[in-house]
Amino acid sequence: MNLEEFLVYIHNGAHELGIEDLKQLRLVSHTVNEVVLEYPILTNLCISTHVPDLEYLEVVSDNEKLLKHVSKLFWEESLFCPCLLVGGERNEVEKCHHRQTLIFYLGRMRAMHRVYKWRFHASAQRENLETNRDVALLMKILPYLQNVDCVFFTSSYQGGGVIVRTPAIATYEQMFTDEYEHVPLGTYWKKGIDGIGYHPRPLMSQQDNESEGLLADQIFKSRFWGEPPVRGLRVFCDLLSPEEKETGHDYQPLDMHVFFPKLKWLFLNNIPTDFFSFWGGGPLYRLLRDSMRGLQHINLFLMEPADQLRKRIDYSAGIQAMIQGSVSSLRTLELIIVNEDRFFKEHETFMSMLTESLPQLVALEELKISNTVLTTTEKMMAFGEAIRTCRSLKLLILMYFCLPEYWKDVLDQWKASKCMHHLEHIVLTECLDAETDSGFYHVSINDSAIVNWLHGKTDMYPLIAVQP
């Protein structure tokens, strides 16, 4: 087999090879590399302010053939914990909650060594943030990302588990080997002092009060400290409308389809609900609303600060307006609302918004809702009637719903009305009612149990009480 025949052989069979095999083939020769680059080796790409991710972006940023196959773009929002990210004096490190945790498990000397290693990476991240290194690289590669159909704004490391494996996560995980040490990234957000700005909330501690004073002094010096949960959204917003950035005027739609014409899926994770109303989000709200037009998949994981409910700030109308742009195309909708005061009081408009929107979603096949506030049997019945009109729906998942009455009454009424009979799967998980004892939740036995019971195929009650 001569070289020409070998290249034809590779070209015809490359689609059957795995990504790792294709990567190895690239090393054979320049000619073979050119053939292999016509196939999707790089399909997922992550942008963040972590040094390993930016170094990887630097390497691939000049390779148009690699980038043209990227279909999923991840904007990684996580930051190192405030005690590592701000300041630089030794006494500030002494107050670091991460150090206190490590001392307990590892001893003082080993703990301090680890903390200073993390401080080095945190300082590098801060420098990247303040110099907008991520933005410069994005602008360099953006023209080559025309095949991106999924954009995720998320945190790759959350709750002690990896959500998206990135070069940064791979590097950081190699830095520790002890069972009790974790990557000290703040992947959730808490409002700053006097409600100004957002701080990354540490994974291993709910409080990092020593660092809040340091942050408070810097919030007014850089916009970054005010909007870290939505840095990626702000970057796209500014790129789409530089005039509005300078003047504040509303000149044009803000739509990410301008950059990603094939966009079908938008995933937003840990975004504070402030940004889902016109008054709270401003241009960022418009960017989300306009970018959701014609989408097939929308995942919204929203963080609701405890004081948000007390102030009665309504974001339901904002979410409803966003969904309106995809009423004829949306196939999958996931709404996860988490507030810090779980089951604080009933949110008056959330279920009403869903009930009003469902009849319009003519292509919807999967609906997943996590609602950590109280609802009522009456609202769940109205919700069931809305499900009846959504004839395309096949899968319904309800998580963390809480009733002051009984789930059995809701299921009995759903069964009598036959409003759910067109569904193939219904799943309830970690739902509360007046019957559940402290520490127990209702869950469905399996994803077919409720449907079979509603259709009369079994007499076994489909919910059981378990401890999470």
Cβ atoms of 435 and 410 within 8 Å: the answer is no
pLDDT tier at 465 (50, 70, 90 boundaries)?
confident
Percent of the chain scoring above 70 in pLDDT: 65
Q: How many whole angstroms separate alpha carbon 102 and alpha carbon 96?
A: 10
Lowest pLDDT segment from 196-200, 339-343, 401-405, 421-425: 339-343
Cβ atoms of 276 and 303 within 8 Å: the answer is no
Q: How many whole angstroms separate alpha carbon 334 and alpha carbon 302?
A: 11
In 17-87 the beta strands, taken as DSSP E runs, fall at: 44-47, 72-76, 79-80
Cβ atoms of 152 and 75 within 8 Å: the answer is yes
Q: Where do we find the tokens 């590592």?
A: 84
DSSP code of residue 222: -
pLDDT tens-place string over residues 47-96:
999 999 999 999 888 888 888 889 999 998 888 877 677 655 444 444 55
- Quick one: CA torsion of 13, 18, 20, 26, rounded to 10 degrees? 20
User: Rounded to 5 degrees, what are φ and ψ at 392?
Assistant: -80, -15
Average pLDDT over residues 109-130: 80
Residue 34: the pLDDT is 60
Average pLDDT over residues 187-195: 65
Residue 137: the pLDDT is 95
Q: Please give the structure tokens belonging to residue 87.
A: 């300041």
The pTM score is 0.83
Average pLDDT over residues 417-436: 89
Q: Where do we find the tokens 């003082």?
A: 108
Query: Given a cut of 80, is residue 341 above it in pLDDT?
Result: no
pLDDT tens-place string over residues 138-187:
999 999 999 999 999 987 655 444 466 788 888 887 776 555 556 777 66
Query: Given a cut of 80, is residue 40 above it in pLDDT?
Result: no
In 245-392 the beta strands, taken as DSSP E runs, fall at: 265-272, 297-304, 332-339, 366-371
Please name the residues in contact with 194: beta carbons below 8 A apart, sequence gap of 6 or more: none
What 3-state class would DSSP assign to 241? coil
Residue 449: the pLDDT is 94
Q: Where do we find the tokens 């742009």?
A: 325
Cβ atoms of 263 and 148 within 8 Å: the answer is yes
Higher model confidence: residue 130 or residue 287?
Answer: 287
Average pLDDT over residues 290-302: 93
pLDDT tens-place string over residues 354-377:
899 999 999 999 999 987 667 888
Residue 269: the pLDDT is 87
Query: Given a cut of 50, is residue 265 above it in pLDDT?
Result: yes
Higher model confidence: residue 40 or residue 377?
Answer: 377
Cβ atoms of 456 and 448 within 8 Å: the answer is no
Query: Given a cut of 90, is residue 228 above it in pLDDT?
Result: no
Residue 62: the pLDDT is 84
Cβ atoms of 53 and 168 within 8 Å: the answer is yes
Average pLDDT over residues 437-453: 86
Query: Given a cut of 50, is residue 346 above it in pLDDT?
Result: no
The most confident of the ranges 7-11, 36-40, 89-93, 369-373 is 369-373
Residue of 335, 390, 387 whose CA lies nearest to 364? 390
What 3-state class would DSSP assign to 38? coil
Please name the residues in contact with 108: beta carbons below 8 A apart, sequence gap of 6 or more: none
Cβ atoms of 51 and 126 within 8 Å: the answer is no
pLDDT tier at 204 (50, 70, 90 boundaries)?
very low
Cβ atoms of 228 and 79 within 8 Å: the answer is yes
Please name the residues in contact with 113: beta carbons below 8 A apart, sequence gap of 6 or more: none
